[in-house]
Structure 1
Amino acid sequence: MGENLTRPARDGRTTGRTTRAVLPPALRGRLGPIAGLAALVVVVLGGVHAGDSEPGGVDARIGAWADGLGPPWRHVALATDFLGEPVGAALLVGAAVAGCLLARRPRAAVLLVTGAALAVGVTTLLKPLVGRTIHGDHNLAYPSGHTAFLTALALTGALLATGRLGLGRTAGTSLVLAAALVAGAAMGWAQVVLGAHYPTDVLGGWCTALAVTPSAAWLVDRAADAGRGRRP
């Protein structure tokens, strides 16, 4: 399929050719605990803010700062927010999937769709369970789906880059976390500036993506490898 298989070295780096797996073997031992911790944060924050309709102390302080930003920054926030809206998200995912297919990386294309859909789906399921609202009883806020979506895409890109470049545990983990932090901070900032979410909603969405994206990558690899094993 245009993707080569490589084995991890003893120090966690990959050797030889580019890995086929979308979850690099060097990162499996690192991302599992990180995903578990992220899931725990999502649950704890959800329990703390269940049924809330007002910001907490930290939310209020950060929100007061965001309210003071002028129109130029709000335009930037609106442009960033568009990436998480249905049309913007479809364009972003479509372009990324097309790039993967042109590069003959079908497994990566599947992960892009699966990871983003799973992250958004989990936030959608959690919102009515937590019941936190903003600007009225019908605006469910926790966790932020926009933040989860863009973070999941960034995580997927970083995982693919780690495998393609053959990065080791430390470098690969650093790249994955840095990509997640940049994407999550950008979308989270936009959501707070626009008043769509409280900062803790953003943190919950970010952690949701950290929890589900590595799991999605593992599932894609398992399904693809099982399919290859059944071929005559």
Structure 2
Amino acid sequence: MTGGPTLPALPPSLRAPLGLVAVLAALVVSVIGTLYAGHSQPGRVDRWIVSPTADPVGPPWRPVALTLDFLGEPAGSVLLVGVVVAVCLLLRRPRAAVLTVAGVALAVGTTTLLKQLVGRTIHGPDNLSYPSGHTTFFTALGLALALLATDRLGLGRTAGTSLVLCVALLAGAAMGWAEVALGAHYPTDALGGWCTALAVVPATAWLVDRAADRLESAGRPEPR
């Protein structure tokens, strides 16, 4: 498989299944946001997953949680995005590089907007919690990497979709665990962040491909 700008950010075989996943994920984000709008306490699902009296995570797992949390902070996230973009460019996948930046930015931006709209808080009225931006970021980055790997490995629809969803699940579960373990978010916040990335990144990849295809078509010489 040769590199070049014509290679899509979203493999054609994954457009339909990931499109369906994106729609379902958007519905989950909307339902949870509606249920917990304006709340400042854990819901029934949150209490079922984590006891309100549970202590914050301690050794040996606390350093792991803190490291993951740092990777979702501005300094850590910029570092990770920079590394992934560099890998995409080295592999001559410019669309994947654009998707990494645009997908993460739009996903986190959507999270910021949703926090204002939903107004759910934790540990005080100024700490908006739904959905989890850290979980959104880490899942979005995982999705970008998984789409790149799917293209590089030449995977078909079933294998490619499975890989993308497994990577998204692992990334979201890891960061979601860290945020809940540190007491920064409710479990449903993490679920909302995971679904936000699943809704935004495939749509962003499709838009990147559409825009790139138009630019490439405009740059081709007219046939004589």
What's the TM-score once normalised by structure 1's chain length?
A: 0.90
Look up the match of 2:95. Answer: 107
Cα distance in 1 for partners of 2:89, 2:155 equals 23
Look up the match of 1:212. Answer: 200
Percent identical pairs in the alignment equals 69
Contact 2:40 2:120 (C-alpha < 8 Å) held by counterparts:
yes
Aligned CA distance change for structure 1 residues 66 and 191 (closer, same or farther; 3 Å) = farther
Cα distance in 1 for partners of 2:45, 2:212 equals 44
Cα distance in 1 for partners of 2:110, 2:34 equals 16
SS at 2:60 equivalent: helix
SS at 1:164 equivalent: helix
Q: Which runs of 5+ in 1 are unaligned?
A: 6-18
Contact 2:132 2:185 (C-alpha < 8 Å) held by counterparts:
yes
SS at 2:61 equivalent: helix
Give every structure 1 segment of 4 or more consecutive aligned residues whose post-TM-superposition deviation is greater than 6 Å.
Answer: none
Cα distance in 2 for partners of 1:81, 1:61 equals 23
Aligned CA distance change for structure 1 residues 35 and 66 (closer, same or farther; 3 Å) = farther
Mapped pair 1:195 → 2:195: no
Look up the match of 2:65. Answer: 77
Look up the match of 1:159. Answer: 147
Cα distance in 2 for partners of 1:47, 1:68 equals 28
Aligned CA distance change for structure 1 residues 32 and 185 (closer, same or farther; 3 Å) = same
Report matched runs for 1:111-150 at 5 Å: 111-150=99-138
1:166 deviation in Å? Answer: 1.3
**Superposed CA offset, 1:95-148 (max 9, x none):** 111111122211111000001001100000000100000000000000001000
Contact 1:134 1:196 (C-alpha < 8 Å) held by counterparts:
yes
1:209 deviation in Å? Answer: 0.3
Contact 1:66 1:192 (C-alpha < 8 Å) held by counterparts:
no
Cα distance in 2 for partners of 1:69, 1:61 equals 17
Look up the match of 2:3. Answer: 3
Contact 2:4 2:94 (C-alpha < 8 Å) held by counterparts:
no
The Cα RMSD (Å) is 1.5
Aligned CA distance change for structure 1 residues 189 and 228 (closer, same or farther; 3 Å) = same
1:4 deviation in Å? Answer: 5.3
1:70 deviation in Å? Answer: 2.2
- Count residues in correspondence: 218
Cα distance in 1 for partners of 2:186, 2:80 equals 25
1:68 deviation in Å? Answer: 5.9
